[in-house]
């Protein structure tokens, strides 16, 4: 009965009967290029690289009549850069991972997570563990009670402290990424609260730290915020990108905390940005920032650091019906 209930909720939440649109997407980069995964409003999953036609993923092994709520993708654990590791969260709060070359869905354990609060959002990435180059899957999630949880490669869920965060805080957006250290890496978690303040913590530490920003546009409100690790020859630094309610995009470095606008004149005029993803992509000359946006008309556009320009991503094969 619960499964039918969740699926009815999913159907009622569709934008319009007879329309199929992009509901959610996830993007990341690896040595093989940029990759995108789409969740459509008809509950189907599609994968593409921005060049070839999109391919539908098999979801027949997932529970029937339970809608997919959130998706996340990352580089493959086995250095197979032609494959994407995909994790989805269903409306019944279960977590599933697509493995073995897109042929096998595996349910991940959530035994020590609270059962009285649903998952609000999550992020996943591949983490290198020391000089051995062993790779682990890291997941970080926020529950609807605003508690923050993270897991290592064995999926042992551990609660992140809330010490340092203001009383009554509400997390509006968050991201997590791998920050390199001398001989290891660490999990860095970044959140945006409902009062538009920015906070961060390293998993395992005891206190959150507030990120004091400069020239913040107080006449705007944040729609979405993403954070990522910008890797370069001198190491790495955290970068934050925000989408504002006037359809503008701005970014800042966690080092100087100064907001800088993105140029968006090449995007279609009068079309709202619905969602965005940002990541570092490996290129011949090193690494480069990639910003991917989904517009309200279901078009994907990407901005590259090397060209400083926007270009439209082909959506051939996606079952879009406006």
Q: pLDDT tens digit string along 63-120? A: 999 999 999 887 654 555 556 678 999 999 999 998 767 789 999 888 888 888 899 9
- Determine, yes or no, domain membership for 37: yes
User: Residue 264: pLDDT above 50?
Assistant: yes
Q: What percent of the chain has pLDDT over 70?
A: 79
SS3 call for 92:
coil
Residue 240 lies in a domain: no
Question: Is residue 32 a part of any domain in this protein?
Answer: yes
Give yes or no for residue 60 having a pLDDT over 60.
yes
What pLDDT, on the 0 to 100 scale, is given for residue 32?
61
Contact 235, 186 (CB under 8 A): no
pLDDT of residue 235: 60
pLDDT at 15: 47
Per-residue pLDDT at 123 = 86
Domain residues for the domain of 44 are 1-108
pLDDT digits (tens, 9 = 90+) for 70-86: 998 876 545 555 566 78
Contacts of 77 (CB under 8 A, 6+ apart): 85, 126, 135, 136, 137
Identify whether 142 is part of a domain: no
Please check the confidence at residue 1 and state whether its pLDDT lies above 60: no
pLDDT: which is higher, 288 or 83? 288
Read off the pLDDT band of 234 (50, 70, 90).
low
Domains of the chain: total: 1
* 1 within a domain of the structure (yes/no): yes
Is 249 a domain residue?
Answer: no
Mean pLDDT of the chain: 83
Nearest CA to 199 out of 173, 235, 220, 180 is that of: 173
CB contact set of 134 (below 8 Å; sequence gap of 6+): 128
**122, pLDDT greater than 70:** yes
DSSP class of 215: S
| Confidence band, pLDDT 50/70/90 cuts, at residue 182 | low
More confident residue, 291 or 3: 291
What pLDDT was estimated at residue 120?
Answer: 93
pLDDT at 2: 53
Is 54 within a domain? Answer: yes
Q: Please determine, for residue 296, whether its predicted confidence score (pLDDT) is greater than 70.
A: yes
CA-CA distance, 127 to 64, in Å (whole number)? 32
More confident residue, 293 or 137: 293
| pLDDT surpassing 60 at residue 267 | yes
Q: Distance (Å, rounded) from C-alpha 48 to C-alpha 38?
A: 8
* Residue showing tokens 């159907």: 11
- Write down the pTM of the prediction: 0.85
Instruction: Of 83-92, 182-191, 268-277, give the lowest mean pLDDT range.
Output: 182-191
Above 90 in pLDDT, residue 293? Answer: yes
What is the DSSP-derived secondary structure letter of residue 294? E
The answer as to whether 63 is a domain residue is yes
For the chain, the maximum distance between any two Cα atoms, rounded to a whole number of angstroms, is: 56
pLDDT of residue 281: 74
Q: Which residues is 286 bridged to in the sheet?
A: 283
């Amino acid at each position: 009965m619960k499964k039918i209930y969740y699926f009815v909720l999913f159907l009622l939440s569709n934008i319009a009967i007879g329309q199929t649109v992009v509901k959610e997407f996830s993007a990341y980069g690896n040595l093989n290029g940029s990759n995108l995964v789409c969740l459509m409003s008809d509950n189907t999953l599609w994968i593409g690289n921005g060049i070839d036609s999109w391919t539908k993923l098999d979801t027949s092994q997932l529970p029937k009549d339970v809608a997919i709520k959130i998706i996340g993708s990352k580089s493959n654990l086995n250095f197979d850069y032609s494959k994407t590791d995909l994790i989805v969260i269903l409306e019944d709060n279960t977590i599933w991972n697509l493995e073995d070359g897109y042929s096998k869905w595996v349910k991940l354990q959530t035994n020590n997570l609270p059962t009285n609060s649903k998952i609000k959002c999550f992020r996943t990435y591949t983490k290198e563990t020391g000089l051995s180059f062993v790779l682990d899957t890291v997941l970080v999630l926020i529950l609807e009670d605003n508690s923050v949880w993270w897991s290592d490669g064995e999926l042992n869920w551990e609660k992140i402290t809330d010490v340092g965060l203001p009383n009554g805080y509400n997390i509006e957006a968050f991201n997590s990424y791998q920050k390199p250290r001398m001989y290891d890496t660490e999990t860095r978690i970044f959140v945006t609260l409902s009062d538009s303040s920015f906070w961060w913590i390293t998993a395992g530490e005891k206190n959150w730290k507030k990120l004091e920003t400069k020239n913040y546009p107080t006449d705007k409100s944040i729609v979405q915020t993403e954070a990522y690790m910008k890797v370069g020859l001198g190491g790495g630094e955290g970068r934050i990108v925000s989408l504002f309610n006037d359809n503008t995009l701005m970014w800042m470095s966690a080092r100087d905390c100064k907001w800088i606008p993105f140029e968006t004149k090449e995007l279609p005029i009068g079309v709202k940005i619905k969602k965005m993803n940002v990541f570092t992509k490996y290129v011949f000359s090193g690494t480069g920032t990639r910003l991917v946006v989904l517009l309200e008309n279901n078009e994907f556009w990407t901005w590259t650091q090397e060209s400083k320009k926007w270009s439209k991503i082909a959506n051939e094969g996606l079952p879009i019906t406006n």
